[in-house]
Amino acid sequence: MEHLHVGVIPNITLFIQLVIFLIFMFIMKKIYFDPYLEAFEEREATVSKYLKEAEENHRKAEEILKEVDQILEEVKLKTKEILETNRKETNELVAKILKEASAEAEKEIEEAKKEVERVVELEKKIMDKIIEKLAEDITKKIIPEEKAA
């Protein structure tokens, strides 16, 4: 038997396959991989941009909410002050009206008392005249009877 000599003999088909594979990979990279990688990078950049915009909008929204809360608090305080001022003014006005009404009522009561006193005086005078007339009539009735007797 012959002794088989196994040595590494370069086989040209292996090199040709390697070259074809590298050419294929180069073509695939230019036609397929590069556009997809570019699209992915573009998408990543767009997403990153939108995320930054969203974070900025969120920050602005929080600032606006803080301002709105502050404005609402100021409005509440001003409203409370206005209500308190109006309440005081209303109470003062009611007190003034009540005082005026009370004074007017007292004036009317005094006038009514004076009118009642005037009517009473007038009625007394009328009653005095009636009593005088009755007394005269009684006297006339009594005196003519005495003369007749």
Q: Reduced to 3 states, what is the DSSP secondary structure of residue 79?
A: helix
Tokens of 123: 């009625």
Look up residue 80 and give its two tokens.
Answer: 């409370």
pTM of the model: 0.44
Residue type, 85: T
| pLDDT for position 137 | 85
CA atoms within 13 A on the CB side of 109: 6
The whole-angstrom separation of Cα 62 and Cα 67 is 9
Query: Which tens digits make up the pLDDT trace of 18-51?
Result: 999 999 999 998 998 888 889 889 999 999 999 9
CA–CA distance, 142 with 124 (Å, rounded to integer): 26
**pLDDT for 147:** 57
Which letter, b or e, does each residue of 32-64 get, where b requires 16 or more Cβ atoms within 10 Å of its Cβ? eeeeeeeeeeeeeeeeeeeeeeeeeeeeeeeee
**CA 118 distance to own-chain centroid:** 62
Q: CA 119, CA 123: separation in Å to the nearest integer?
A: 6
Asked if the model's pLDDT at residue 83 lies above 70, the reply is: yes
